[in-house]
Amino acid sequence: MNLDLLKSTSNLKITFLSDINHCIDIQKQGRFKFYINFNFDIKLIQDFIDQLEDHEIYLMIPLISKFAKDNDPHIILSKQILVTKYSNYITINKFLMDQLDLFLEDYNFDNIDKSFLIFKYKKIKIKIN
């Protein structure tokens, strides 16, 4: 994997899966894993990024859940995001906070205190033809 590509993914701005050129082959096989963050703790977002494998790219779907249980309702905060170990956790946090604010405003909620931010993620492979 190209190191420049890895370092630029969700660094200065969020990189969405839909931003990737359609001439690139993306292999998304495999099971999703879950990373649970209580109450949007920025330190836990940094810990998530730090635990990703070097030279790999991941597809991530950010969710909000009241109790972080599989069968409970959840809210999807954005379309699919690409992240790597080199992604900027501050950029990701700002984006997610903006998405949360937009959700709260759109649905006239005051807040969603004591909720879980969940990253549903998996490693993907990108082949540039």
Q: Identify which of 98, 60, 94 has the alpha carbon closest to the alpha carbon of residue 79.
A: 60
**pLDDT score at 5:** 81
pTM: 0.89
For residue 3, is pLDDT > 70?
A: yes
For residue 13, is pLDDT > 60?
A: yes
Q: Where are the domains of the chain?
A: 3-128
Q: Pick the residue with more confidence: 42 or 129?
A: 42
**pLDDT score at 80:** 95
Q: Identify which of 97, 27, 90 has the alpha carbon closest to the alpha carbon of residue 59.
A: 27
Residue 103, CB-side half-sphere exposure with 13 Å CA sphere: 15
What integer is the mean pLDDT of 4-15?
91
Between CA 3 and CA 25 the distance in angstroms is 18
H/E element holding 49? helix 42-50
Q: What is the pLDDT of residues 20-59, one digit of tens each?
A: 877 677 888 889 999 999 888 999 999 999 999 999 999 9
How buried is residue 123: exposed, middle or buried, by Cβ count under 10 Å (0-12/13-18/19+)? middle
Q: What is the pLDDT of residues 49-99, one digit of tens each?
A: 999 999 999 999 999 998 888 888 999 999 999 999 999 999 999 999 999
Q: Which two tokens stand for residue 82?
A: 């690409």
For residue 2, is pLDDT > 80?
A: no
The DSSP letter of residue 60 is E
For residue 1, is pLDDT > 60?
A: no
